[in-house]
Amino acid sequence: MAKVELREYTKPTTMSNVYDYQRSIYLNGISGRKPLVPIDLNDLEGEAEKYMAPGAFSYVSTGAGAEETLSANRKAFQSWEIVPRILRDVSQIDSSVELFGEKLSSPIMLCPIGALDLAHPQKEIAVARACEATGMPMIISSQASTPMEDITAAMPNALNWYQLYWSKSPEMTQSFVRRAEQSGCKAIVLTVDTATLGWRKRDLNEAYSPFLRGKGIAQYTSDPVFQKLMEMPSENGPTPRPRITPQTIATLFAQARNVPGGFFSNLRSGKGLKSVRTFARLFSRPDLEWRDISKLKEMTTLPVLIKGIVHPDDAKLAIEYGADGIIVSNHGGRQVDGSIGTLHALQSISGEVKGKIPVLIDGGIRSGADVFKALAWGASAVCIGRPYAYGLAIAGQKGVEEVIMNLKADFSFTMALSGCRSVTEVGINSLKYEWEV
Of 230 and 384, which CB lies nearer to ligand FMN in the complex structure?
384
Q: What are phi and psi of 360, to 5 degrees?
A: -110, 170
DSSP line for 272-299: HHHHHHHHHHHS--TT--HHHHHHHHHH
Find the shortest distance in angstroms from Cβ 180 to ligand FMN: 14
DSSP code for 115:
-
Find the shortest distance in angstroms from Cβ 365 to ligand FMN: 6
Task: Pick the closest to residue 140 from 99, 100, 177 (CA basis).
Answer: 177
Tell me, yes or no, if 331 is annotated catalytic. yes
Q: Residue 296: which residues within 8 A CB-CB, separation 6 or more?
A: 164, 166, 177, 188, 190, 304
3-state secondary structure at position 139: strand
Of 61 and 266, which CB lies nearer to ligand FMN in the complex structure?
61
Find the shortest distance in angstroms from Cβ 87 to ligand FMN: 35
Angle (deg, nearest 10), helices 15-30 and 386-417: 110
Find the shortest distance in angstroms from Cβ 61 to ligand FMN: 7
Q: What are phi and psi of 325, to 5 degrees?
A: -165, 165
Of 342 and 412, which CB lies nearer to ligand FMN in the complex structure?
342
Residue of 120, 311, 331, 344 with catalytic role: 331
**Which residues are bridge partners to 326 per DSSP?**
306, 359
Find the shortest distance in angstroms from Cβ 74 to ligand FMN: 8
Distance of alpha carbon 357 from alpha carbon 318, whole angstroms: 10
Of 331 and 421, which CB lies nearer to ligand FMN in the complex structure?
331
Of 59 and 321, which CB lies nearer to ligand FMN in the complex structure?
59
Provide the CB-side half-sphere exposure for 359 (13 A, CA). 31
Q: What are phi and psi of 147, to 5 degrees?
A: -60, 145
Q: What are phi and psi of 255, to 5 degrees?
A: -60, -45
Burial of 103 (0-12, 13-18, 19+ CB in 10 A): middle
Q: Check: CB of residue 85 under 8 Å from CB of residue 310.
A: no
Binding site for ligand FMN (CB under 6 A): 59-60, 73, 111-114, 141-143, 163, 191, 307, 329, 331-332, 334, 362-365, 384-386
Distance of alpha carbon 277 from alpha carbon 225, whole angstroms: 15
Of 292 and 425, which CB lies nearer to ligand FMN in the complex structure?
292
Q: What are phi and psi of 372, to 5 degrees?
A: -60, -45
Q: Which residue is nearest to ligand FMN (CB)?
A: 385
Task: Pick the closest to residue 319 from 354, 347, 285, 346 (CA basis).
Answer: 354
Find the shortest distance in angstroms from Cβ 355 to ligand FMN: 23
Find the shortest distance in angstroms from Cβ 163 to ligand FMN: 5
Of 213 and 386, which CB lies nearer to ligand FMN in the complex structure?
386
Active site residues: 331
